[in-house]
Amino acid sequence: SLEEKTSASVFAALEHPIPLVPNIKLSMTDYADETSLVFSQTKSFNGVNYAAGSAVNTKVDLNFTDFTLYYEVLDNWLSLDLGLTVRQLDGEVTLASSNETSTIDIDGAYPMGYVKAEIELPLTGFFVGGEAYALSFEDKGRTTDISLYAGYEAEAGLGITAGYRQINFNFDDLNNLNSDIDITGPYLSLYFHL
């Protein structure tokens, strides 16, 4: 029952012409949200029982940093990047009622596959593309982070993109927490390309 709110994300990428040495991308995303609801039945969270009829405030705070090593497989009007990402997750989930408060930390580093594809419309500066990070554990769940976007880059290197991003955390027993969290919505991004 979380409500969608505004979050922030920043990134920097270093691409170079040295063969066999991967390019580097660093990105950071900060997301915080909270909601209040009344439990219709007694629930247990992190060893704390919240009685039926309790008004409970739920707060989710997720910060993750992605360190990506990737190769440009194609680099012309059609570009394709493939690589691996280590996502450092630092977050917590807190439930608080008038009588009880409990917090579970969600911390750890997880490897993820990375792919980005982009098509330039020749001689216009316009482009469309998509970017995805994904991880799946056989018995623990999965997480995905997918963006679809369109944008424009001026000759001076200043660019703008608008798109839609969907982040999903679906885990069983991750730090003693079962989670199914979706963070979705449109975004606007400004960047400078040297």
What local confidence, expressed as pLDDT, does residue 142 receive? Answer: 81
Task: Tell me if 4 sits within 8 A of 185, measured CB to CB.
Answer: yes
Assign 19 to helix, strand or coil. coil
Strands 48-50 and 158-174: unpaired
What is the spatial distance between Cα 126 and Cα 121, in angstroms, rounded to a whole number? Answer: 6
What local confidence, expressed as pLDDT, does residue 4 receive? Answer: 57
Strands 8-14 and 48-50: unpaired
Cβ-Cβ contacts under 8 Å for 17 (sequence gap 6 or more)? none
Q: Residue 40: which of 28, 25, 56 has the closest Cα?
A: 56
Strands 101-120 and 177-192: unpaired
What is the spatial distance between Cα 83 and Cα 42, in angstroms, rounded to a whole number? Answer: 45
What local confidence, expressed as pLDDT, does residue 118 receive? Answer: 97
What local confidence, expressed as pLDDT, does residue 139 receive? Answer: 66
DSSP 107-121: EEEEEEEEEEEEEE-
Per-residue pLDDT of the chain (194 residues; tens, 9 = 90+): 566 566 788 999 999 989 899 999 999 999 888 888 888 888 888 888 888 888 888 888 889 899 999 999 999 999 999 999 999 989 888 889 888 888 888 888 889 999 999 999 988 999 999 999 998 876 667 889 999 999 999 989 999 999 999 988 777 665 566 777 788 889 999 999 88
pTM: 0.85
What is the spatial distance between Cα 163 and Cα 139, in angstroms, rounded to a whole number? Answer: 32
Task: Tell me if 81 sits within 8 A of 114, measured CB to CB.
Answer: yes
What local confidence, expressed as pLDDT, does residue 153 receive? Answer: 95
